[in-house]
Every structure is written in structure tokens, then in C-alpha cells.
Amino acid sequence: MARGSGIPEPWLIHFFQRHSDDDVATATPAADYLDSVPTTVAAEFDAILAAVAAAPPPSFSGGGKWEAMHGDMTGIHEVRVKSGGVNYRLFCLLVRTSDQLEGPSIVCLAGLTKQARTAAQPREYARIRQYVAEFRKYRKVLR
């Protein structure tokens, strides 16, 4: 909470960075993904992330734009943007406490683009779960 105001402080937004043990290039999959989507889609992702961080996440009403995942993806949230019959997804992890992150944070992991009304491939979800495991092991984000 902001001191004396009763208003929660916004959460921080970070971008997961792969560790050199897992990726020599130490890629930042979410940042790379945002660079690859149309500018209007990237801007909408930015606006949604800012709104979620300001709410902050535990009290944010998703409205279809911020959703908790289920099943094998429990614990991961997705930011959803639809444009021109294409679904864009940005997968995020909520981290309430971490010395490395300097406060409650939304950690952006990676993205996925697919045609509307089609299912994501299981290998795509496996890749996201791999990034979660890497993040939990190293706690590495883009600085």
C-alpha cells in the first residue's frame, strides 16, 4: 500500500530473461514477441499490462483481457488481444515477493499468436511451462 493512502502500490512489470545455461543468447522471449507483433497490438498489450499492474493483479477484473489459466497452466496468466481474426497471447507469472524483483511483479514470459477459434499447440504451452521453471530456478529478468 502507498504509505498512508490505503491505495495499493502498482506492481512492477518485468521481462523474463533466459539464463545462459539454457540459452546462450540469453533471449527475452516476451520482449522479442512484443517486437514481432503489429504496433497496435503491442500498444494494447502495454495498456492492459499497465492497467493490471495499477489495479494491482489480485483485484483486477479481467474482462476477457487478463485471464488466469487452468489445468497444466495453473499459476500462469495470459493477456489477450484480438485483432483481424488473430488471437495474440502474452503469458505472465505473478510474483508477490522476491528480493531480485524489488517488489510484487508481473513477469512477462513469452507470447503466442494463433488464428481465432483455434487451439494452441501443446508444445507451445510446454514452452511456457519451461520458461516458468527457468524463471523459478534463476529469477532472471531483463535489467
How far CA 22 is from CA of 3, 19, 25, 83, in Å, comes to 40, 6, 9, 33
Task: Tell whether 3 is covered by a domain.
Answer: no
CATH number of the structural domain spanning residue 86: 3.30.2310.20
**pLDDT (0 to 100) of residue 6:** 67
Based on the structure, what is the number of domains in the chain? 1
**pLDDT (0 to 100) of residue 85:** 94
* Distance between CA atoms of residues 18 and 63, nearest Å: 31
- Angle between helix 29-36 and 39-54 (nearest 10): 130
Query: In this structure, how many other beta carbons lie within 10 angstroms of the beta carbon of residue 75?
Result: 12
pLDDT digits (tens, 9 = 90+) for 40-85: 999 999 999 999 999 988 778 878 999 999 999 999 999 999 999 9
Task: Tell whether 5 is covered by a domain.
Answer: no
Say if residue 4's pLDDT is above 60.
no
Torsion 77-67-43-52 (CA) sign: negative
Task: Tell whether 96 is covered by a domain.
Answer: yes
Question: Which DSSP state fits 98?
Answer: -
Task: Tell whether 57 is covered by a domain.
Answer: yes
Domain holding 112, by residue range, is: 12-138
**pLDDT (0 to 100) of residue 126:** 97
Task: Tell whether 2 is covered by a domain.
Answer: no
Task: Tell whether 4 is covered by a domain.
Answer: no
**pLDDT (0 to 100) of residue 57:** 85
**pLDDT (0 to 100) of residue 18:** 96
**pLDDT (0 to 100) of residue 138:** 94
Task: Tell whether 68 is covered by a domain.
Answer: yes
Quickly state the pLDDT bin for 119 (edges 50, 70, 90): very high
Q: What is the mean pLDDT of residues 22-41?
A: 97
